């Protein structure tokens, strides 16, 4: 594990160490103590039950945190979003594959190539303006891009991938 960590950015390597500090071994990862916000499945290394990894807000908060302020076509004003960059989430889970399937609470799904995940986005946001997002506010997790900072994210593709009420991510071929 430590050889793999040497090749990762320091913040991601630290998050993996924090997340695995109480790891019971044999592929088991501590179960969430709070409400499950996000369930990962498919080609992932860490699991905590039935072949999946269920994470609560404390698990997500232990990963490297990022925030940005951006306008969206779905909100008033210019909110600040905080959460985990999708690239850091992928690294922390040891996820592999070529495709990411993201599913919302209402079963709306989008798929995207793993290669489309960039260093600056998207963000698995679980806080908007410093507060957890309710279902009404597109929470508990919203995949958000820094639309104002990068014209590449002001496209129909990025808008279609901006899935809110996200609760499941599957990594596959």
Please state the rounded mean pLDDT for residues 113-123: 94
Predicted confidence band at 163 (pLDDT cuts at 50, 70, 90)?
very high
What is the overall mean pLDDT for the chain?
87
Q: What is the rounded CA–CA span in Å between residue 152 and residue 146?
A: 10
Which of 91, 84, 82, 120 lies closest to 17, judged by CA?
91
Instruction: Look at the alpha carbons of 76, 82, 85, 86 in this order and tell me if their dihedral is positive or negative.
Output: negative
The tokens for 77 are 């004003």
Burial class of 11 by CB neighbour count within 10 A (0 to 12, 13 to 18, 19+):
middle
The tokens for 16 are 């993996």
Residue 112 forms beta bridges with which residues? 100
Instruction: Look at the alpha carbons of 34, 41, 165, 58 in this order and tell me if their dihedral is positive or negative.
Output: positive
Q: Per residue in 85-108, pLDDT tens?
A: 999 999 999 999 999 999 999 999
The tokens for 99 are 């495709």
pLDDT above 70 as % of the chain: 84
Q: What pLDDT score does 28 carry?
A: 64
Q: What is the rounded CA–CA span in Å between residue 18 and residue 81?
A: 23
The tokens for 40 are 């990962």
Task: Give all domains of the chain, ordered by start, each with its CATH number.
Answer: 2-172 (3.90.420.10)
Q: Per residue in 5-58, pLDDT tens?
A: 444 454 544 444 445 444 333 356 789 999 999 999 999 998 997 889 999 999
Predicted confidence band at 164 (pLDDT cuts at 50, 70, 90)?
very high
HEC letters along 9-33: CHHHHHHHHHHHCCCCECCECCCCC
Beta strands at 38-42 and 53-55: parallel, antiparallel or unpaired: antiparallel
């Amino acid at each position: 594990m430590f050889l793999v960590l040497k090749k990762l950015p320091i913040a991601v390597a630290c998050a993996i160490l924090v997340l695995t500090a109480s790891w019971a071994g044999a592929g088991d990862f501590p179960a969430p103590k709070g409400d499950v916000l996000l369930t990962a499945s498919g080609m992932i290394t860490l699991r905590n039950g039935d072949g999946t990894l269920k994470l609560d807000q404390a698990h997500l908060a232990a990963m490297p945190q990022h925030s940005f302020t951006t306008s969206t076509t779905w909100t008033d004003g210019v909110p600040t979003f905080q959460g985990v960059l999708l690239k850091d989430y992928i690294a922390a889970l040891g996820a592999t594959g070529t495709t990411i399937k993201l599913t919302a609470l209402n079963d709306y799904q989008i798929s995207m190539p793993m290669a489309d995940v960039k260093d600056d986005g998207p963000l698995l946001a679980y806080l908007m303006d410093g507060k957890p997002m309710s279902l009404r506010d597109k929470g508990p997790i919203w995949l958000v891009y820094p639309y104002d900072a990068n014209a590449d994210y002001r496209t129909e593709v990025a808008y279609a991938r901006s899935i809110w009420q996200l609760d499941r991510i599957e990594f596959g071929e």
